[in-house]
Amino acid sequence: MLIVQKYGGTSVANIDRIKAVADRVAKTVQQGNQVVVVVSAMAGETDKLIDLAHQVNPSPGEREMDLLLSSGERVTSALTAMAIQALGHKAIALTGRQMGIITDKVHTKAKIEKIYGDRAKKALEEGYVVVVAGFQGIAEDDEDVTTLGRGGSDLTAVAIAWALNADLCEIYTDVEGVFTTDPNIVPEARKLEKISYEEMLELASSGAKVLQTRSVEFAMKYNVPLVVRSSFTDRPGTLVCKEDTDMEKVMVSGVAYDKNQVKITILGVPDKPGIAARLFKTIADANIVVDMIVQNISSDGKSTDISFTVPKTDKEKAVKISEELSNDLGAQGVLVDDNISKVSIVGVGMKTHSGVAARMFETLANHGINIMMISTSEIKVSCVIQDKYTELAVRALHEAFELDKAA
Ligand code: ADP
Ligand code: ASP
Ligand code: MG
């Protein structure tokens, strides 16, 4: 088999962990498999580099940011390849560029456009383990280094698995799989044996960082077989796969939370066609992804308030755009709320069960938690609440939907 194994930051956090990765890779090779390893930077390294950048410049250039951040994964890819060599196996470390990962030019959140896998294929045929630095690629026209957004090594792994037609993509992390909610917040959280791509995508996009959202999107689109498991144990993990009929019996599969958003409100916007279109087009053109949007009913028929949420990392850009628009339109100004979070419940069973949203609202109400915004899709309900209630809400919802018990 050809197996892609991705190891996250905690799995390569120090020399002992890197040696443990090399052992696992060597074992996989000895079982007769070809292996491509994708590594993240050492735990905390990317945050450290971002902090350094902000110490020299409060708004560092995104092109240079990418060059800086890509260095973390170069370090671990080289060290991991060396550790595998030390065990007597052939290994070659490749940067994103050397792996042929071509992206668009959107620095700090580039999209993969294609992968030239020839060099990796040749190395695998010659008996090498190929160790790829995750999270990075290059823009084809000017060969500038790009990065794929936080958690982007997951996407590197899934995309390589697709490009090389691998039999399996394993995501090794610090928990034993995908749980009903973050096991670091709710100790009763239960490991799922399998989960559909669709539910995983909703959980990831709602903040469950165990898999990066775009990596799930990619895996779903190309049907890449994906397993999430721990690099600290040998227990089986969670299979992420196409939905099957058992899955629909479960009303709610998981609870997710996201503390990385801010709420922006433009007050007193003229209530007429074209305003929302103008605002959100400008925001989209700045490559900012808007999550929730609420437009209040106009009480006087003349003006209304528009609230929306964006990732904290895009706060400054989004506030600037909103203030400019507010001035242009003669609106009453812009409010920014940093102290919010979003809690979501996800389950394909919601397609066929009713009353799920009501039970969520009731649970939050019973704990005295006020809901500021609501959004729903076929398989998800999300509520924006005050940040300080996040853990309480996640625990309460996990309990209310009895997620600690198997269906
Ligand atoms: P890595 O560095 O290996 O990429 P991450 O920190 O990105 O690891 O993701 C793993 C973390 O995701 C876990 O430590 C856990 O706190 C968090 N997490 C959030 N939601 C879930 C969930 N539903 N199941 C498992 N882990 C989750
Ligand atoms: N090192 C990057 C990050 O911390 C990419 C990754 O770990 O997947 O976001
Ligand atoms: Mg991650």
Taking the CA of 184 as reference, the closest ligand is: 1
* Percent of the chain topping pLDDT 90: 90
Evaluate: CB of 207 within 6 angstroms of ligand 1: no
Angle separating helix axes 62-86 and 45-56, nearest 10 degrees: 150
* Model pLDDT for residues 230-274, shown as the tens digit of each residue: 999 999 999 999 988 877 778 899 999 999 999 999 999 998 899
> From the CA of 14, how far away is ligand 3's center (Å)?
17
112-115: strand order across its sheet: 112-115, 101-103, 136-139, 145-147
Q: For residues 133-142, give the mean pLDDT.
A: 95
> From the CA of 183, how far away is ligand 3's center (Å)?
15
What pLDDT score does 300 carry? 79
Is it the case that residue 158 has pLDDT exceeding 90? yes
* CATH class of segment(s) 263-337: alpha beta
What is the average pLDDT value for the chain, to the nearest integer? 96
Neighbours of ion ligand 3 (CB under 5 A): 8, 151
Taking the CA of 68 as reference, the closest ligand is: 2
Which residues are CB-neighbours of 26 under 8 A, at least 6 positions away? 84, 87, 89
DSSP state for residue 71 in the 8-state scheme:
H
> From the CA of 202, how far away is ligand 1's center (Å)?
15
Amino acid identity of residue 230, one-letter, is: S
On whether the 2-174 domain is CATH 3.30.950.10, my answer is: no
Is it the case that residue 351 has pLDDT exceeding 90? no
What kind of fold does domain 254-258+340-400 have according to CATH? VC0802-like (3.30.2130)
- The protein residue with its alpha carbon nearest to ligand 1, atom 11, reads 210
What pLDDT score does 244 carry? 86
Taking the CA of 133 as reference, the closest ligand is: 2
Which residues are CB-neighbours of 249 under 8 A, at least 6 positions away? 349, 407
Which residues are CB-neighbours of 246 under 8 A, at least 6 positions away? none
Coil, strand or helix: which one is 50? helix
Is it the case that residue 182 has pLDDT exceeding 90? yes
- The protein residue with its alpha carbon nearest to ligand 1, atom 23, reads 181
Q: Given ligand 2 and candidates 37, 153, 214, which is best to mutate, with the most ligand atoms within 8 Å of its CB? A: 153
* Model pLDDT for residues 277-327, shown as the tens digit of each residue: 999 999 999 999 999 999 987 777 789 999 999 999 999 999 999 999 999
Atom of ligand 1 nearest to the CA of 185: 16
Domain boundaries along the sequence of the chain:
2-174, 254-258+340-400, 263-337
Atom of ligand 1 nearest to the CA of 154: 4
> From the CA of 40, how far away is ligand 2's center (Å)?
6
What pLDDT score does 157 carry? 98
Coil, strand or helix: which one is 78? helix
CA 180 to chain centre: 17
> From the CA of 157, how far away is ligand 2's center (Å)?
12
**Of 308, 367, 356, which Cα lies nearest the Cα of 336?**
308
Q: How far apart are CA 179 and CA 181, in angstroms?
A: 5
Q: For residues 378-399, give the mean pLDDT.
A: 97
What pLDDT score does 296 carry? 82
Phi, psi of 386 (to 5 degrees): -75, 135
Is it the case that residue 407 has pLDDT exceeding 90? no
Q: How far apart are CA 178 and CA 204, in angstroms?
A: 10
- Lining ligand 2 with CB less than 6 A are 8-9, 40-41, 46, 72, 134-135, 150-154
Q: Is the overall model pTM greater than 0.85, yes or no? A: yes
- The protein residue with its alpha carbon nearest to ligand 1, atom 9, reads 210
What pLDDT score does 129 carry? 98
Q: Are residues 340 and 310 in contact, defined by beta-carbon separation less than 8 angstroms? A: no
What pLDDT score does 245 carry? 81
* Model pLDDT for residues 45-95, shown as the tens digit of each residue: 999 999 999 999 998 999 999 999 999 999 999 999 999 999 999 999 999
Taking the CA of 45 as reference, the closest ligand is: 2
